[in-house]
Amino acid sequence: MASKILVVEDDRALRNAVVAALQSGGYEVESAADGSAGVQALSAKPYDVVLLDIGLPFVDGWHVLSTLEGRRVPSVIVISARGDQADKVRALDMGADDYLAKPFGSEELLARIRAVLRRAQPPAQVSLVARSGHVSVDLSRHSVLKDGQEVRLSPTEYLLVAELAGHAHQVMDYRTLLHQVWGPAYGDERHYLRVFIQRLRRKLEHDPAHPEVIQTASGRGYRFGPAIER
């Protein structure tokens, strides 16, 4: 079954071009011309991916992102004419999975779509439950528990914590984590990693300001759980 994609973009020419590119890629596509219509579409039916412009009329993309917080949501790729890092960090921190600056080509767009869809369907893993304090990650069930209660994570958040948990008590360096979770093209996008680690800490730690579950190895990377004394 073809993946379902919602395009929320007010520029008609760009919206039509994006819809055509996605349809040529074999996806089932619907579109909305403003944020209000986008919110209504997201409330009416499920989608696999949302392409969301930030500079929308009436209801902007920031508001649309805020309405998705805490829900089981599709993967979100923000598209924007502004490519500065502050906007990227804000979008990622509000729950987006990726950020694509305009102008962009159809091949890059399709590659980003394929990447977020892969992250939404992680491969089967060996039976392993990794624990760090009050958090357990069951890699075979793709579930994360905090104090015995399941934690709702986005596909990208889960892949990141699963990568760390699969190498529990070992430091995973920045580039390896970016490569494994986002792909080879993201090896230098360290701000993606910082934002998603912060998102995970808010959901998993008792005190995100003093993390115990996901620890920082300064200048090197991150580790799930404490180091094992040898």
Q: Name 112's bridge partners.
A: none
Mean pLDDT along residues 127-135: 87
Q: For the chain, list the domains and their CATH numbers.
A: 4-120 (3.40.50.2300), 129-224 (1.10.10.10)
- Residue 119 · residue 77 · CB < 8 Å: no
Q: Which residues contact 33 (CB under 8 A, 6 or more apart)?
A: 9, 10, 12, 15
Pull the structure tokens for residue 220.
Answer: 């090197």
DSSP-derived 3-state class of residue 91: helix
Pull the structure tokens for residue 140.
Answer: 């075979």
- Class of residue 178 by CB neighbours under 10 A (exposed 0-12, middle 13-18, buried 19+): buried
DSSP-derived 3-state class of residue 122: coil
d(C-alpha 105, C-alpha 123), whole Å: 29
4-60 pLDDT, tens per residue? 999 999 999 999 999 999 999 999 999 999 999 999 999 888 899 999 999 888 889
> For residue 166, which amino acid is it?
G
Pull the structure tokens for residue 96.
Answer: 């987006």
Closest CA to 73 of 120, 125, 14, 25: 120
Mean pLDDT along residues 123-147: 85
44-70 pLDDT, tens per residue? 888 999 999 998 888 899 999 888 865
DSSP-derived 3-state class of residue 130: strand
